Chains A and B, each alone.
Chain A
Amino acid sequence: MKTSSVGIVTPQRARFDEPLALACGRVLTAYELVYETYGTLNSTRSNAVLVCHALSGHHHAAGYHSAEDRKPGWWDECIGPGKPIDTNHFFVVSLNNLGGCHGSTGPTSINPETGAPWGPDFPSLRVRDWVHSQARLADRLGIDCWAAVVGGSLGGMQAMRWALLYPQRLRHCVVIASAMRLSAQNIAFNEIARQAIQADPGFADGHYLARNTVPAKGLALARMVGHITYLSDDAMADKFGRDLRSGSLELGGEEPAEFQVQSYLRYQGSQFSGSFDANTYILMTQALDFFDLAREYGDDPVAAFREAHCAFLVLSFSTDWRFSPSRSREIVDALIAADRPVTYAEIEANEGHDAFLMPIPRYLALFGAYMQRVRGAC
């Protein structure tokens, strides 16, 4: 089958004036969501797939914004004609979550009550708030029931929450490289990231927009820490090893040596700090930390999954140590015990957590085979 791109796509914007009650107790009186769609909604509106993004993701999941665009959307490997989420058959909706910094209402938006950017006063969000806002977007698009809700990492958490909060509104739930809640180690890494941002003088307690400063160093450092956890030891060894970018390790010289991995991390950090909002990063990492799928079900994931009516595909990657295969197994075991249809595979991959974005042949073949089954019922 010929594999290609969805081509040039244009983001759309939906405004919601109905107030949204948030998990934190506050109410967002109005908000906007930016989203993209790929493929065509069929006449019975049964072929819609919702793509939920991860920590630093956004609505631009596939295709290009212009002919000059060098890089496609973040999940272009998996979305497009002939790809696992085949846009010849599915109507794909990908949005920027509430609290994001790519166009949807978030800390950089203007707070209507003050006329100034929300900044650190933007309400704290939970994964369920995203799910509720996504359900409103589904209403707006006339989608009663998703063929599938799909997500990797933090996106997988949204997909699982969908299955519990709106069991009648999805037929399949695809959870890739995710977990039912973070471990202490996961939270610890997120805390380092937040501390790095908050310790930057440019952060100004989150009021950097009003002060016209940028916590660029802190944000870059946060990204560097995060980035290490997305890669495996093997992947870093393959990519950089101990290669030097400059200088030498020869004795008798004082010229400082710089490893390739150092410059790579710095580049990743500075790219990110130029394109991402620090308050959004704090908000998103907190939503990640606070997520606990089974908390209100007596801490029993089996009881939680009994709420679900959909079938599940769970995928993990062998070298992912951020959300390791054993975390996915916990999901699978709970689904088995809850007597819910589940398919699970652990994909052999060198790339660590980031593998879910990579064109790994077995991953694409299996994901595609499952999505064909999803298609069969559309």
Chain B
Amino acid sequence: MRLDLTHIQRWIAPGSKVLDLGCGNGEFLQRLALERQVRGLGLEIDPDKITSAVARGLNIVEQDMDAGLSNFPDQSFDTVVMAHALQAVHYPDRVLEDMLRIGRQGIVTFPNFAHWRCRLYLGSRGRMPVSRFMPYNWYDTPNIHFCTVKDFEALCEERGIRILARDMVGNTQRRPLLASAWPNLFAVTAIYLISR
């Protein structure tokens, strides 16, 4: 299980209703169903991942977030999760607005592009960073809207989105002291609990 997903779990109330945007093979939703007894729905566009997620017994709808989420009624879910997809959608701001229209709270995780390794890579080599976490070349990547911790918080401020909690994941499993103290420099992955 990816580290950011382990962190998210505690923000999800047992028995609640969860929409997972970009649910992948459904590993996270399945765990939430088993450990938190949530009623989950996953959105995904990759055919093989959809089949894997359905094989886990999950409800999955093939739908492209970039085409909008207007088919989901207002406040119809307790939590809307979008893990590691913010940077891959065409209109991240619209998706965030939709998340908080559909859900009472939203949980967003994204790779922090201002992490010192990225800065060092870009600063020293002058080229777009390619790493274990972001293994794509700039011309062939699903990640079209990279942002930083500061960028995200500025957008929330601008749109009147409340940050209820945030959690930073550093390089290791250990308590991320540096990432918590200086998230924009040391957080590899940023995790936010947001609401209106």
Do A and B share a complex? yes
Residues of A whose CB lies within 8 Å of any CB of B are 311, 329, 332-333, 336-337, 339, 341-346, 348, 362, 365-366, 369-370, 372-373, 376
Q: Are A336 and B62 in contact (CB under 8 A)?
A: no
Asked if A341 meets B59 with Cβ closer than 8 Å, knowing A366-B51, A366-B54, A369-B51, the reply is yes
Residues of B whose CB lies within 8 Å of any CB of A are 39, 41, 47, 50-52, 54-55, 57-63, 71-73, 76
What would 30 A/B residue contacts be, using CB atoms closer than 8 Å?
Answer: A311-B59, A329-B71, A332-B61, A336-B41, A336-B61, A336-B71, A336-B72, A336-B73, A336-B76, A337-B73, A337-B76, A339-B76, A341-B41, A342-B59, A343-B54, A343-B61, A344-B60, A344-B61, A344-B63, A345-B60, A345-B62, A346-B62, A362-B47, A365-B51, A366-B54, A369-B52, A370-B54, A372-B55, A373-B54, A376-B57
Q: How far is the CB of A313 from chain B (nearest CB, A)?
A: 8
| Secondary structure type dominating chain B contacts | mixed
In the complex, which residues of chain B have a beta carbon less than 8 angstroms from the beta carbon of A337?
71, 73, 76
Q: How far is the CB of A251 from chain B (nearest CB, A)?
A: 49
| Secondary structure type dominating chain A contacts | helix
In the complex formed, the residue of B with least CB distance to A344 is: B61
**Which of A333, A366, A372 meets B50, CB within 8 Å?**
A366
Q: How far is the CB of B22 from chain A (nearest CB, A)?
A: 16
Q: Are A369 and B61 in contact (CB under 8 A)?
A: no
Q: Are B51 and A362 in contact (CB under 8 A)?
A: yes
Q: How far is the CB of B104 from chain A (nearest CB, A)?
A: 15
Instruction: For the A-B complex with A311-B59, A345-B62, A369-B55 known, give 13 more contacts whose Cβ atoms are closer than 8 Å.
Output: A333-B71, A336-B41, A336-B76, A337-B73, A341-B41, A342-B61, A343-B61, A345-B47, A362-B47, A362-B51, A365-B51, A369-B54, A376-B57
Q: How far is the CB of A114 from chain B (nearest CB, A)?
A: 52
In the complex formed, the residue of B with least CB distance to A365 is: B51
In the complex formed, the residue of B with least CB distance to A370 is: B54
In the complex, which residues of chain A have a beta carbon less than 8 angstroms from the beta carbon of B39?
341
In the complex formed, the residue of B with least CB distance to A311 is: B59
Q: How far is the CB of B17 from chain A (nearest CB, A)?
A: 8
Q: How far is the CB of B111 from chain A (nearest CB, A)?
A: 29
In the complex formed, the residue of A with least CB distance to B47 is: A362
Q: How far is the CA of A342 from the CA of B63 in the complex (A)?
A: 13
In the complex formed, the residue of A with least CB distance to B52 is: A369
In the complex formed, the residue of A with least CB distance to B50 is: A345
Q: How far is the CB of B125 from chain A (nearest CB, A)?
A: 40
In the complex, which residues of chain A have a beta carbon less than 8 angstroms from the beta carbon of B73?
336-337
In the complex formed, the residue of A with least CB distance to B19 is: A336
Q: How far is the CA of A366 from the CA of B50 in the complex (A)?
A: 8
Q: Are A344 and B62 in contact (CB under 8 A)?
A: yes
Which are the 4 A-B pairs with shortest beta-carbon distances? A369-B55, A333-B71, A369-B54, A373-B57
Asked if A343 meets B51 with Cβ closer than 8 Å, knowing A333-B71, A337-B73, the reply is no
Q: How far is the CA of A333 from the CA of B61 in the complex (A)?
A: 10
In the complex, which residues of chain A have a beta carbon less than 8 angstroms from the beta carbon of B57?
373, 376
In the complex, which residues of chain A have a beta carbon less than 8 angstroms from the beta carbon of B50?
345, 366
Q: How far is the CA of A346 from the CA of B39 in the complex (A)?
A: 23
Q: How far is the CB of A111 from chain B (nearest CB, A)?
A: 47
Q: How far is the CB of B13 from chain A (nearest CB, A)?
A: 17
In the complex formed, the residue of B with least CB distance to A338 is: B73
Q: How far is the CA of A287 from the CA of B58 in the complex (A)?
A: 34
In the complex formed, the residue of B with least CB distance to A346 is: B62
